[in-house]
Amino acid sequence: MTNSVANVALLGVCLQMMSLLVLQANARAFLVFGDSLVDNGNNDFLVTTARADNYPYGIDFPTHLPTGRFSNGLNIPDLISEHLGQASPLPYLSPMLKKDKLLIGANFASAGIGILNDTGIQFLNIIRITKQLEYFEQYKVRVSGLVGEEEMERLVNGALVLITLGGNDFVNNYYLVPFSARSRQFSLPDYVVYVVSEYRKVLRKMYDLGARRVLVTGTGPMGCVPAELAQRSRSGECSTELQRAASLFNPQLVQMINDLNNEVGSSAFIAANTQQMHMDFISDPQAYGFVTSKVACCGQGPYNGIGLCTALSNLCPNRDLFAFWDPFHPSEKASRIIAQQILNGSPEYMHPMNLSTILTLDSTT
């Protein structure tokens, strides 16, 4: 009788392992790092002011409830997952992220962070990029416990990785207040060089931890978001200084990625020109079905760009007509436009190749 029970238990373990391996074979893990543009709920588990856990966030999400995403609905990682035909990876801090869900991937992103660890200090408790990489190491140990060391390495090496960083290092650091510590320490060109050099260390660490396909987004047009128009614009023109920062940062980011790829001997890192992706619909919103790219759907004050999006804010009735959901973040419709360019964009948008090309190449190896 004891042997029968033991055999049944062993069979159950074997079946669970087989189901995990089948799931792993059928799905490509998706790992997400970065800030509020890609955070899908980690900050809900932290004591921080950088949160999206209140109405009307999530108003167009399938549940119509806030999820921690800084969006009216889905964000860019969700839309990439949609294309991959699998569920979005759960926030790493979610207690639901366990067993087979770990094999789908994990989202380590945290609103408010930057490349530099002093970025976003006003938000208190956020998962800085160094901590996100520590969690990545922890994730590998957890996956190894499920499927073994060799299968874990295969999963991580084959994973699609998305990292979105940089905007907060300007908006919530260098330009946060007049005469900020960083602006007194560096001229803007020197600051950009420093930030890019620090980013290089992050990406190299990611590679050393096993990441082999990493989508790296540049900053968007920081001077054109409703929050900056409200503070810096007289008649709706983009902030010259913040646009200068983006125009310095993004080309140096691409050059750094080229250098890193040469160093590792492969196209491990892919540069996504999200500045141009945004500028397409900011420059000509009507061509993309928007009525405005200056006014946020949710907010208050000039351009709905002051303060936070809350239940007391102005709220547009049709989010699909607005390029920006809140003072800083794109609407789901705008995110879909960006995700399509990541998938199918020409070399102007995706260098050295777009995501569809990556998926095709990787399916044959």
Q: What is the pLDDT along the chain (365 residues), one digit of tens a residue?
A: 545 544 544 444 444 544 444 444 457 999 999 999 999 999 999 999 999 999 999 999 999 999 999 999 999 999 999 999 999 999 999 999 999 999 999 999 999 999 999 999 999 999 999 999 999 999 999 999 999 999 999 999 999 999 999 999 999 999 999 999 999 999 999 999 999 999 999 999 999 999 999 999 999 999 999 999 999 998 999 999 999 999 999 999 999 999 999 999 999 999 999 999 999 999 999 999 999 999 999 999 999 999 999 999 999 999 999 999 999 999 999 999 999 999 999 999 999 999 999 999 998 87
Q: Which amino acid, 340?
A: Q
Strands 214-217 and 105-107: unpaired
What pLDDT shows up at residue 123?
Answer: 95
Structure-token pair, residue 268: 């491990």
Q: Give catalytic status of residue 64 as yes or no.
A: no
Find where tokens 């614009």 sit: 233
What pLDDT shows up at residue 12?
Answer: 46
What pLDDT shows up at residue 9?
Answer: 45
What pLDDT shows up at residue 14?
Answer: 45
Could you tell me the domains of the chain? Answer: 29-363 (3.40.50.1110)
Q: Are 49 and 124 in contact (CB under 8 A)?
A: yes
Question: How do residues 75-112 score in pLDDT, each as one tens digit?
Answer: 999 999 999 999 999 999 999 999 999 999 999 999 99
Q: Give catalytic status of residue 326 as yes or no.
A: yes
User: Is residue 214 classed as helix, strand or coil in its secondary structure?
Assistant: strand
What pLDDT shows up at residue 27?
Answer: 75
What residues have CB less than 8 Å from 209, skipping those under 6 apart?
A: 133, 136, 137, 140, 156
Which residue in 94, 169, 329, 331 is the catalytic one? 329
Distance CA 231, CA 226 (A): 9
Q: Give catalytic status of residue 329 as yes or no.
A: yes
Exposed e or buried b for every residue in 342-358, given b needs 16+ CB within 10 A? Answer: bbebeeebbbeebbeeb
Distance CA 365, CA 165 (A): 30
CA angle 34, 355, 322 (to 5 degrees): 65
Q: Is the pTM here over 0.75, yes or no? A: yes
Question: Which DSSP helix (H) or strand (E) runs through 203?
Answer: helix 188-208
Strands 314-315 and 298-299: antiparallel
Distance CA 18, CA 28 (A): 17
Which residue in 35, 36, 278, 335 is the catalytic one? 36
Structure-token pair, residue 245: 């920062």
What pLDDT shows up at residue 364?
Answer: 83
What pLDDT shows up at residue 225?
Answer: 98
Altogether, the residues listed in the chain come to a count of: 365
Q: Are 209 and 163 in contact (CB under 8 A)?
A: no
What pLDDT shows up at residue 5?
Answer: 47
Which residue in 233, 239, 326, 335 is the catalytic one? 326
Dihedrals φ, ψ of 31, to 5°?
Answer: -115, 130
Distance CA 123, CA 113 (A): 9
Q: Are 292 and 320 in contact (CB under 8 A)?
A: no
